[in-house]
């Protein structure tokens, strides 16, 4: 039996609409095909589109990670002048991890966490000294920060790659969907760390250091002394009060331990402190201006929480009121070279501090002013 004429008749009956020209018919069938594909393969198509988007971002993340590693290695070679090639050691450094303490029984966890962080810090410093034997203390701090930024980029890249491959392997739309949704935020953070790398390598002040900048501006010209740990304090007369101005010791990349410094000053003064004012950079909400200054109460300090805990413990013991002045910026501004708006906000913050001192204390009182943040590129 010849099947060709039958098929021809069938196709004519099925596909040719009388009175329609060929273009209208093609268009109609294209729509049919589109609806068919959307119905049965829509989710799979969407999955592949998202997968491609994540893959594209992953390429970008890899590029940023590789650039970060290259910048770190170049900075080490230039500053540290090592005898051997630092590349294998840097690669090992990028894979370092920290295991946080067990929190099943949370009592005393802060001290355990502090110990772990101290060990981590000491280990990092030793490693950087080995990598860059010619670097001085300031440069060691800057290189440590550079490597930490490179480490953060490496981690971001690996986590995104993990979920991408997992989603691809399991063909799970939901895994890929979740990464695709948070990807803009992740990319923003990665780009911020990428610009931080150069800032750290060159020792430029970063947005996060605005708290330290405020303290530096207040203490400049007055004798400073070191307080534990990695902080400096200056006794500054402000509006007839005695202000103990604290910041991390600069100009190397360093955040110090403001919790210990505040505790030391409070204990030196036997708790006779009228108020504490903390100044820090804070993340702004979208729509807020960069460099906006706001005021509130509480310990304005980020990080893992150890310093905040110590400050709160000490002020509770002596019933000392605590105020906070924050300078708003986004994550990109916080870790990249300081923007002009943020730099200028330091003067506005100083005005607020003076106003606060006048309103909340009386003449002859002692106050603590603590500028929190990474003091890279900021002296005292």
Give the span between the Cα atoms of 283 and 330, in whole angstroms. 5
Q: Does 203 bind other proteins (CB under 8 A)?
A: yes
CA dihedral sign of residues 95, 101, 104, 109: negative
Give the other-Cβ count within 10 Å of 244's Cβ.
24
CB within 8 Å of 229: residues ≥ 6 apart: 256, 257, 260, 261
* Minimum CB–partner distance for residue 71 and other proteins (Å): 8
Q: Would you say how long the chain is, in residues?
A: 380
Which of these ranges, 64-72, 97-105, 266-274, 312-320, lies near other proteins under the rule CB under 8 A? 64-72
Indicate the burial class of 324 (C-beta count within 10 angstroms; 0-12, 13-18, 19 or more).
buried
Instruction: Tell me the Ramachandran region of residue 193: left when phi exceeds 0, alpha when psi lies from -120 to 50, beta otherwise.
Output: alpha
Residue numbers 299-328 binding other proteins by CB under 8 A: none
Binding flags for other proteins, 162-201, as an x/- string (CB under 8 A): --------------------------------xx-xx---
Residue of the chain from 12, 19, 23, 83 that contacts other proteins (CB under 8 A): 23
Nearer to other proteins (CB atom), residue 125 or residue 339: 339
CA dihedral sign of residues 226, 230, 236, 242: negative
Q: Does 204 bind other proteins (CB under 8 A)?
A: yes
* Minimum CB–partner distance for residue 44 and other proteins (Å): 16
Q: Does 89 bind other proteins (CB under 8 A)?
A: no
Nearer to other proteins (CB atom), residue 96 or residue 343: 343
Nearer to other proteins (CB atom), residue 313 or residue 351: 351
Which of these ranges, 90-98, 109-117, 315-323, 339-347, lies near other proteins under the rule CB under 8 A? 339-347
Under a CB-based contact definition with an 8 Å cutoff, are residues 257 and 276 in contact? no
Indicate the burial class of 349 (C-beta count within 10 angstroms; 0-12, 13-18, 19 or more).
buried
Which of these ranges, 37-45, 96-104, 168-176, 341-349, lies near other proteins under the rule CB under 8 A? 341-349
Q: 3-class DSSP state for residue 327?
A: strand
Q: Does 29 bind other proteins (CB under 8 A)?
A: no
CB within 8 Å of 184: residues ≥ 6 apart: none
Under a CB-based contact definition with an 8 Å cutoff, are residues 234 and 241 in contact? no
Q: Does 336 bind other proteins (CB under 8 A)?
A: yes
Q: Does 59 bind other proteins (CB under 8 A)?
A: yes
Which of these ranges, 28-36, 39-47, 312-320, 371-379, lies near other proteins under the rule CB under 8 A? 371-379
Give the other-Cβ count within 10 Å of 38's Cβ.
12
Q: Which two tokens stand for residue 244?
A: 């103990």
Find the farthest-apart pair of alpha carbons in the chain and give their distance in angstroms, rounded.
Answer: 113
Residue numbers 223-252 binding other proteins by CB under 8 A: 250-251
Q: Does 216 bind other proteins (CB under 8 A)?
A: yes
Q: Does 287 bind other proteins (CB under 8 A)?
A: yes
Give the span between the Cα atoms of 13 and 43, in whole angstroms. 33
Phi, psi of 279 (to 5 degrees): -120, 130
* Minimum CB–partner distance for residue 259 and other proteins (Å): 24
* Minimum CB–partner distance for residue 75 and other proteins (Å): 10
Which of these ranges, 119-127, 175-183, 202-210, 314-322, lies near other proteins under the rule CB under 8 A? 202-210
Q: Does 275 bind other proteins (CB under 8 A)?
A: no
Size of the site for other proteins (CB under 8 A): 38
Which of these ranges, 37-45, 61-69, 230-238, 352-360, lies near other proteins under the rule CB under 8 A? 61-69
Q: Does 339 bind other proteins (CB under 8 A)?
A: yes
Give the span between the Cα atoms of 38 and 221, in whole angstroms. 71
Indicate the burial class of 344 (C-beta count within 10 angstroms; 0-12, 13-18, 19 or more).
exposed
Which of these ranges, 28-36, 63-71, 166-174, 237-245, lies near other proteins under the rule CB under 8 A? 63-71
Give the span between the Cα atoms of 114 and 305, in whole angstroms. 9
Q: Does 70 bind other proteins (CB under 8 A)?
A: yes
Provide the binding-site residues for other proteins, judged by CB under 8 A: 23, 52, 56, 59-60, 62-64, 66-67, 70, 85, 194-195, 197-198, 202-205, 213, 216, 220, 250-251, 287, 336-343, 377-380
């Amino acid at each position: 039996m010849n099947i060709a004429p039958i098929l021809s008749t069938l196709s004519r009956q099925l596909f040719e609409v009388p009175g329609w020209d060929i273009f209208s018919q093609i268009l109609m069938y294209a729509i049919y095909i589109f609806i068919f594909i959307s119905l049965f393969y829509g989710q799979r198509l969407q999955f592949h589109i998202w997968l491609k988007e994540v893959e594209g971002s992953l390429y970008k993340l890899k590029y940023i990670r590789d650039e970060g590693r290259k910048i770190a290695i170049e900075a080490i070679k230039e500053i540290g002048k090592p005898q051997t090639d630092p590349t294998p050691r840097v690669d090992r450094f990028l894979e370092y991890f920290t295991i946080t303490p067990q929190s099943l029984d949370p009592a005393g966890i802060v001290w355990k966490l502090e110990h772990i962080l101290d060990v981590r810090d000491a280990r990092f410093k030793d490693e950087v000294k080995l990598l860059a034997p010619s670097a001085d203390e300031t440069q060691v701090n800057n290189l440590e920060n550079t490597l930490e930024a490179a480490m953060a980029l490496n981690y971001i890249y690996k986590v995104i790659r993990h979920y991408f491959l997992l989603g691809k392997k399991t063909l799970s739309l939901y895994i890929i969907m979740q990464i695709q949704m948070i990807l803009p935020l992740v990319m923003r953070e990665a780009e911020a760390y990428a610009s931080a790398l150069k800032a750290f390598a060159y020792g430029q002040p970063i947005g996060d250091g605005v708290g330290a900048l405020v303290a530096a501006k207040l203490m400049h010209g007055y004798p400073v002394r070191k307080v534990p740990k990695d902080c400096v304090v200056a006794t500054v007369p402000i509006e007839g009060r005695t202000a103990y101005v604290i910041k991390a010791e600069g100009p190397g990349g360093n955040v110090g331990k403001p919790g210990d410094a505040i505790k030391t000053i409070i204990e030196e003064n036997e708790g006779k402190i009228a108020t504490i004012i903390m100044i820090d950079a804070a993340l702004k909400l979208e729509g807020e201006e960069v460099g906006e200054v706001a005021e509130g109460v509480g310990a304005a300090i980020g990080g893992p929480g150890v310093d905040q805990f110590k400050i709160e413990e000490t002020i509770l013991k002596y019933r000392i009121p605590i105020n906070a002045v924050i300078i708003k910026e986004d994550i990109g501004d916080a870790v990249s070279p300081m923007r002009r708006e943020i730099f200028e906000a330091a003067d506005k913050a100083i005005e607020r501090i003076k106003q606060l001192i006048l309103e909340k204390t009386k003449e002859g009182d002692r106050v603590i002013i603590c500028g929190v943040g990474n003091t890279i590129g900021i002296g005292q």
